[in-house]
Amino acid sequence: MLARVPIFRTTARTLIVGACAPYVARISLVDKIEFSSADLDETVRLFQELIRIDTTNPPGNEGRAAEYLKARFDSNGIDCDVLGEPSRENVITKIRGQKQRPRLLFESHTDVVPAVGVGVWNHPPFSAEIEDEWIYGRGAWDDKFDVAVQAMSLILLKRRNVKLCGTLLYAAVADEEGSGSGAAWLTKKVPDKVAAEYVVGEGGAPPTQVGGQKIYWITTGEKGLAWLKLTAKGKAGHGSVPTLANNANLMMAKAFINLSNLKTKVTITDEVARAIRIVAIAFLGENEGSEIINSQLNELGIDKILDRIASNDKELAEELRALTRMTISPNVIVGGTETNVIPGTCEGKVDIRLMPDQNRDCATKAVIECIRGLDIDLGVIDYTEASLSPSNTDFYDAIETITEELAPACSALPRLSTGMSDSRFLESSWIDRLWVRADVAGHYVG
């Protein structure tokens, strides 16, 4: 799969201001900061050099990227720490303002997923080649773009001696694509170095064309996760006489069919309701869209609205549908070894994503209902609570305002993510703190 990010050289402010302007406006004494084409070129070079550092996870080797970033920060007079497990280090730094607080953390990750199918790539995955104003390379979008833009934001603010009212922190962490051990290490071992009232990290989503307008998504929360393990216990036997055995695979198949057919409770958060309203009106028109929203934006009618949206954009509709309920995806079945042997045991794994008002018990109760009457044991492999930050805050308003300012005729909307990022470690570390994730910089140039 190609990984690429575009460059707009026609507006030198775009690449860097996307990361720093909204926060400068809120926590500094400066209304506007201008950047030159040379600044943009320097950012592009930093971005390319980061892509060329192979941090494929596994094994990661993110320490190489951390040392590279440290050298860049050090050369610009910004004190920097490289901390973490050997070869899996994180890089953290900060710019102090006139006051210690408020604190804003820029958070990104330096590891990348493996490059597969390289034979069909137009450019080698770690070449960071530029063609027709696009940079190609593994990690160009996820997530070395954020690493580079956020780093250059600190560097340029430092060079211009911008007097911040609070503290701007930076953390580029290891292992986000794996278990999140980098962010976990920081929040457990040195929490004071990354503690902040506000966090901007990986998130958002590619801009979506909806009718005649483009929407930039600002992620304000993530669904929870529950990975469950099922173990079916049957009776082994020979395939030539199946009635003398109890096929555990068939038992698991019944459980998987039950799980796939289960209708879960609909929950419509304010952020999702707002997104559905705008999307429906954009596709169906003001009159019809408003009418269907007013009559059917509820637990009973929501799927009718989403079905109408699906006729225009199937992918967007199903994304929104997944954001209105717990989703259950039975994905792994392991059972049997030989064609002529009936398996006595079978293992299954189920991926469940939870709404903000749901917990582990909600997940297990749903599965128990689907395996009732079947000899199947249930266990929890992994669990993480959902997290949601409010969008009716000055912080969110600042991000939304600058997004719409730099992208005229576009709208910014809050988004609950179906996936999960390192923000779960940040949220759990500072109770009653606000985090909002927005790839606004990436979206401005993407």
Q: What is the pLDDT of residues 241-287, one digit of tens each?
A: 999 999 999 999 999 999 999 999 999 999 899 999 999 999 999 99
**What counts of helices (H) and strands (E) characterise the chain?**
14, 18
Non-local (6+) Cβ contacts of 361 within 8 A are none
**13 vs 93, more confident:** 93
Residue 364, classified by CB atoms within 10 Å of its CB into exposed (0-12), middle (13-18) or buried (19+), is middle
Collapse the DSSP code of 116 into the 3-class scheme (helix H, G, I; strand E, B; otherwise coil) and give the result: coil
> What does the pLDDT read at residue 13?
36
> What does the pLDDT read at residue 399?
80
Q: Which two tokens stand for residue 112?
A: 């990348």
Q: Which two tokens stand for residue 106?
A: 């820029």
Residue 144: name the closest of 2, 48, 9 by CA: 48
Side-chain-side CA neighbours of 267 within 13 Å: the count stands at: 15
How many Å apart are CA 199 and CA 209, to the nearest integer?
Answer: 27
CATH 3.40.630.30 fits 4-211+389-445, yes or no: no
Looking at the predicted structure, is the pLDDT value of residue 440 above 50?
Answer: no
Residue type, 23: Y
| CATH architecture of the domain covering 224-265+325-385 | 2-Layer Sandwich (3.30)
Instruction: State percent of the chain over pLDDT 70.
Output: 87
- pTM score, two decimals? 0.86
Looking at the predicted structure, is the pLDDT value of residue 431 above 70?
Answer: no
Lowest mean pLDDT among 39-43, 164-168, 397-401: 397-401
Looking at the predicted structure, is the pLDDT value of residue 47 above 90?
Answer: yes
Lowest mean pLDDT among 59-63, 167-171, 218-222, 275-279: 218-222
For the chain, give the mean pLDDT. Answer: 87
Collapse the DSSP code of 100 into the 3-class scheme (helix H, G, I; strand E, B; otherwise coil) and give the result: coil
Q: Which two tokens stand for residue 160?
A: 């211009």
Looking at the predicted structure, is the pLDDT value of residue 6 above 80?
Answer: no
> What does the pLDDT read at residue 4?
62
CA-to-CA separations, 217 to 243, 344, 408, 422, in angstroms, rounded:
55, 48, 15, 18
How many Å apart are CA 417 and CA 107, to the nearest integer?
Answer: 17
> What does the pLDDT read at residue 3?
57
**58 vs 26, more confident:** 58
* pLDDT tens track for 368-388: 999 999 999 999 999 999 988
